[in-house]
């Protein structure tokens, strides 16, 4: 009888690929799952997980918290792989090198950043693969406008070099650069198609929001899939579609039937977060989204913006400052139902859009744990997956538990696995899969982070293993555990 390094015994094992949903023992050796057994397994360590769900670790396709502090919060929410794909990083090798040098508690990876490359070419932004630097240039009109054919060629060349360096596709923040020629977007999609990788798009405005938009944001994404054959991933469809979610979902459903590859994601919150200098937050444009200046909560100020004059001032003083964008009333069942439908849409991935914890002043101590109370972020950083399991499964019944697990694991893994072979061993719990495992109590799992207490970890996540090592044990984080490994394009 073989002896495993670790056996998780007596738990309800859910493997979304095979459909297994039964009490089994899970045997782990090294960094891989070696056995799923009806019979008791022997191991050097045996952990009783009776009454708990044992499933693949959650895969987050949309996480801007690529530091130790934020990834610890995500680990406590059941996440074992967090990827920066929407904004991406440019040059991508800088981001991979930094993460490897510092160590990470969970697995990490990056797309290349169309916005970063475009800012570098058109506005002289330094190529440092840093999200704060990118947000600092987000309001620069030079990168938001149409580019010359020569500049487009330079941008595409930089993106292609990053793909050769292992980027997981191309992140396209076209919604932040509304003057971009639609032909450039199609050229980016064609580049992705040639390399067999997805694009990850923050959509432009919909035509209902801006009748003068060069192309409807949803139509642009699905048209690119049809015309180029690229895999187009539609980022946080809930937040960019607003009141028009149903129209956008119907469009995606139609083009899928026609053979296009368009995947979607959503998060279960009514407020977004971004840099206050984003083009769509200009005071004169807020009405397009049904917003007012008081819909915007300034994270550093700790309050909502008073009026249009204050909004103009903070946008000019610090365009990269993070703000909440309260666009959907979570207390209104009809309004918040749009968010629920975006998550429940067939094969939609759960993805957090997590934001790195923000330290109020001075150099952040990114290894400090627990986080001090003055550190702030969006509650989705700490609570997206716990909230999904509580809200959509236990309270609303919109997803079964196995289906919710699939949306958090196998669905996002399959978005990536064509571009990154390593993802074929994630999102599953079966012999040969990576030992990235989440164990939770289905009766109590919940988010606890709120807009006023945003770094409070989720509850009910009992154990989290990354590469066979406990990062969370009995609900407690191990601050010394940094087993995260890079996921690269292959």
Quickly state the pLDDT bin for 72 (edges 50, 70, 90).
very high
Per-residue model confidence (pLDDT) at position 319: 95
Q: What is the pLDDT of residues 116-160, one digit of tens each?
A: 999 999 999 999 999 999 999 999 999 999 999 999 999 999 999
Q: What is the pLDDT of residues 331-384, one digit of tens each?
A: 999 999 999 999 999 999 999 999 999 998 767 888 999 999 999 999 999 999
- Please check the confidence at residue 171 and state whether its pLDDT lies above 80: yes
Residue 433, preceding bond cis, omega within 30 degrees? no
Q: Is residue 136 within 8 Å of residue 319, measured between CB atoms?
A: yes
CA distance 464 to 219: 40
Q: Nearest 5°: phi and psi at 428?
A: -130, 160
In the predicted model, what is the mean pLDDT of the chain? 97
Largest CA distance in the chain: 73
The label of the residue with tokens 């793909």 reads 163
The three-state secondary structure class of 100 is helix
SS3 string, 106-174, reads CEEEEEEEHHHHHHHHHHCCCCCCCHHHHHHCCCCHHHHCCCCHHHHHHHHHHHHHHHHCCCCCEEECH
- Please check the confidence at residue 1 and state whether its pLDDT lies above 60: no
SS3 string, 14-51, reads EECCCCEEEEEEEEEECCEEEEEECCCCEEEEEEECCC
- Please check the confidence at residue 296 and state whether its pLDDT lies above 80: yes
pLDDT > 90 fraction of the chain, expressed in percent and rounded:
97
The label of the residue with tokens 């990235």 reads 436
């Amino acid at each position: 009888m073989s002896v495993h390094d670790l056996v998780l015994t007596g738990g309800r094992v859910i493997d979304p690929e095979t459909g297994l949903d039964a009490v089994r023992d899970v045997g782990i050796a090294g960094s891989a799952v070696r056995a799923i057994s009806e019979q008791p397994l022997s191991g050097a360590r045996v952990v009783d997980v009776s009454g708990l769900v044992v499933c693949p670790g959650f895969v987050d396709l949309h996480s801007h918290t690529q530091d130790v502090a934020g990834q610890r919060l995500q680990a406590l929410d059941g996440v074992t792989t967090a990827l920066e794909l929407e904004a991406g990083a440019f040059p991508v090798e800088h981001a991979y090198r930094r993460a490897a040098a510092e160590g990470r508690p969970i697995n990490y990876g990056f797309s290349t950043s169309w916005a970063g490359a475009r800012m570098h070419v058109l506005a002289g932004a330094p190529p440092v693969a840093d999200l704060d630097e990118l947000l600092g240039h987000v309001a620069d009109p030079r990168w938001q406008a149409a580019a010359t054919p020569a500049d487009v060629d330079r941008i595409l060349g930089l993106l292609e070099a990053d793909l050769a360096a292992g980027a997981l596709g191309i992140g396209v923040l076209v919604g932040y650069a509304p003057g971009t020629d639609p032909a450039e977007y199609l050229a980016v999609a064609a580049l992705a198609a040639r390399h067999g990788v997805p694009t990850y798009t923050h959509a432009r405005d919909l035509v209902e929001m801006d009748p003068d938009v060069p192309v409807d944001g949803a139509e642009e994404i699905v048209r690119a899939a049809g015309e180029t054959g690229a895999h187009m991933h539609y980022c946080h469809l809930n937040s960019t579609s607003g009141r028009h979610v149903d129209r956008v979902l119907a469009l995606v459903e139609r083009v899928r039937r026609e053979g296009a590859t368009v995947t979607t994601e959503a998060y279960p919150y009514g407020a977004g977060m971004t840099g206050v200098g984003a083009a769509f937050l200009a005071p004169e444009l807020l009405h397009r989204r049904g917003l007012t200046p008081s819909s915007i909560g300034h994270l550093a100020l700790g309050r909502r913006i008073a009026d249009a004059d204050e909004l103009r001032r903070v946008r000019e003083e610090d365009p990269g400052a993070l703000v909440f964008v309260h666009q959907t009333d979570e207390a209104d069942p009809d309004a918040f139902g749009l968010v629920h439908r975006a998550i429940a849409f067939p094969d939609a991935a759960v993805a957090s859009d997590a934001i790195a914890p923000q330290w109020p002043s001075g150099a952040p101590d990114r290894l400090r744990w627990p986080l001090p109370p003055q550190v702030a972020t969006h509650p989705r950083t700490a609570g997206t997956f716990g909230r999904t399991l509580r809200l959509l499964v236990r309270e609303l019944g919109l997803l079964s538990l196995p289906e919710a697990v699939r949306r958090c694991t196998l669905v996002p893994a399959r978005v990536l696995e064509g571009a990154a072979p390593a993802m074929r061993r994630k999102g599953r719990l079966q012999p040969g899969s990576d030992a990235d495992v989440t164990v939770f109590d289905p009766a109590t799992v919940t988010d606890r982070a709120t807009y006023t207490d945003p770094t409070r970890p989720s509850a009910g996540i009992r154990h989290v293993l990354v590469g066979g090592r406990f990062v969370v044990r009995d609900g407690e984080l191990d601050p010394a555990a940094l087993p995260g490994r890079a996921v690269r394009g292959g």
